[in-house]
Structure 1
Amino acid sequence: MKLHDLGRLEGPVLAFGGPYSNLQALEALIARAEALGIGADRMICTGDVVAYCGDPKATVDLMRARGIVTIAGNVERQLGAGALDCGCGFETGSACDLLSAGWYAHVNAATGAETRRWMADLPDVATFTQAGRRFAVIHGGVTDISRFLWPVSPEAEFTPELAVLTDLTGPIDAVISGHCGVAFMREVQGVHWINAGVIGMPPNDGTARTEFAVLSDGRAELLRLTYDAAAARTRMIDAGLTQGYHEALITGFWPSEDVLPASMRRQSRAIG
């Protein structure tokens, strides 16, 4: 496990996940951060800089040029190791599993040796303090980088992650995570668990807007990001990435809902 202590951060902090090779979303997020008075030194990414969308190299280059602190996602770990799949934790044969072969091949081909070295060196966990509260930033889980923890997951799935995390970092007041693609906040054994969502793909809610988090005075707020989704979709089409995620950028619905817990799928929500 690679740990990185950021020390004490003064002022608001912007946390986000999954740029997913969506250059337009990342550019919009940086502009939004600047409007909020948040510099790149107070932006933290929970990983998966590259994935579904059309601009993996440009997205990585922009993240690195800005010096945005980045936690390793499973995609970075896989690319850094030269693996031939995304290591996303999808169930074998699921829509996500089958569709990942296409976008991962595109990302893999676009990622050079120097970028792979950067990815391999990224930390697994970052810590910092703000307004007297101590935060730990991870990707999916600590026991498994690609573990899916959802807003509806039982508390018993969070508690072992907290136990391992605090063994690594010492006491914490809050966790910031990503990976699942849906932002949420909940309390787990007195610790505030904040999933900052992802900016590269909408949260399967029927809108094109994506999600991120802002921490101010030790407290978190989940915000929505509007960006040029049509341009991002065009870039995917130009790259031959037309398996359904290109339409999800516009429709706001994933082509792979089977990765979601049953209660979070459209059919279940409609019945409810």
Structure 2
Amino acid sequence: MKLALFSDIHANLPALEAVLADIDDRKPDAVYCLGDLVGYNVWPNEVIAEIRRRNIPTIAGNYDFGIGRSSDDCGCAYKTDDEKANGKVSIAYTNKTVGDNERVYLRSLPTQIRVNYELAHDADHLWQQQTPVSLLLVHGSPRRVNEYLFEDRGDRSLGRVLEAAQADILCFGHTHKPYYKVVNARGDDETPYFRHAINIGSVGKPKDGDPRAGYVILTIDETAKPGVAGGVSVEFIRVPYDVERAARAVEESELPDVYAQALRLAK
């Protein structure tokens, strides 16, 4: 099973179009979006329309959750007064720009999607229930849509998050910085139980120094089993797109110019 997973488009239509074209070329078995369709750029309605046109299963990001409810709070962890001021402009602009039907759509999105895969093949016990590999898709974390799971989080702590969610494979975004970890959720070397944590990065607002749009191809093969480290492979895909078009769109709008520079520098 080959899955394409993407997140954090943030109203960047050129980046989304480039990623979807690349996904079309790779022909995965399924495609999922992990949220934050809107915010920080000028195409929130167009991004929503493309996701809906393709019937891509999508969960709500923190920005989607706020805009869907006409809130002036996006659930973002801004660190400085300047960031807070710019964020206030962005959410006001997005609330003003998003259409009524698009807002209803954002409000209807689930906060999680769980998919269970029964991959083991046993001809002698064909109709018996197998223990499935549980794939959980969230935006921030299983606990909160706006919780950040950064790469420097300790394996024991991250493992506890996965174990509490009963997720063999947890996929998430929100930090805009991709990474993949296999963690021993029990923290016991004698009886390890491995779980997979995958941050899929960002399509439209990367923060890892690479301005190209990012997404993940996740492959789960028939050897994958709960508690086992193998049977799962993760490919981080980067796709060039017209960054200048997206940056200039910001500069020609009411949005703060700092968001244009962030696209160019991926910070």
Same fold per superposition (TM over 0.5): yes
8 Å Cα contact 1:18/1:181 also seen in 2: yes
Task: Answer yes or no: is 1:29 the counterpart of 2:44.
Answer: no
Deviation at 1:77, TM superposition (A): 1.2
Task: Answer yes or no: is 1:235 the counterpart of 2:225.
Answer: no
More helix by share: 1
Residue 195 (structure 1) aligns with = 199
Aligned pairs, how many? 234
Counterpart among 195, 213, 216 of residue 216 in structure 2: 213
Alignment of 1:1-272 (within 5 A): 11-38=1-28, 42-91=30-79, 93-129=80-116, 132=119, 133-166=133-166, 172-188=167-183, 189=185, 190-205=194-209, 207-216=210-219, 217=221, 218-252=232-266, 254=267
* Identical-residue share of aligned pairs (%): 25
8 Å Cα contact 1:78/1:86 also seen in 2: yes
- Distance (Å, rounded) in 2 between the aligned partners of 1:72 and 1:164: 21
Question: Any gaps of 5 or more consecutive residues in structure 1?
Answer: 1-10, 167-171, 255-272
Deviation at 1:232, TM superposition (A): 0.9
8 Å Cα contact 2:6/2:202 also seen in 1: yes
- Distance (Å, rounded) in 2 between the aligned partners of 1:187 and 1:158: 10
Report the residue type matching 2:171 in the other structure: I
Report the residue type matching 1:18 in the other structure: D
TM-score, normalised via structure 1 length: 0.80
Larger Rg: 2
Question: Any gaps of 5 or more consecutive residues in structure 2?
Answer: 120-132, 186-193, 222-231
- Distance (Å, rounded) in 2 between the aligned partners of 1:245 and 1:204: 15
Cα-Cα RMSD: 1.9
Q: Deviations over 1:164-184 (max 9, x none)?
A: 422xxxxx3210001011000
SS at match of 2:70: coil
- Distance (Å, rounded) in 2 between the aligned partners of 1:103 and 1:56: 12
Of stretches 80-89 and 154-163 in structure 1, the one that deviates more from structure 2 is 154-163
* CA separation of 1:82 and 1:18: change in aligned 2, threshold 3 A: same
TM-score, normalised via structure 2 length: 0.81
8 Å Cα contact 1:76/1:119 also seen in 2: yes
Deviation at 1:118, TM superposition (A): 1.4
Q: Deviations over 1:78-101 (max 9, x none)?
A: 12222112112334x455433211
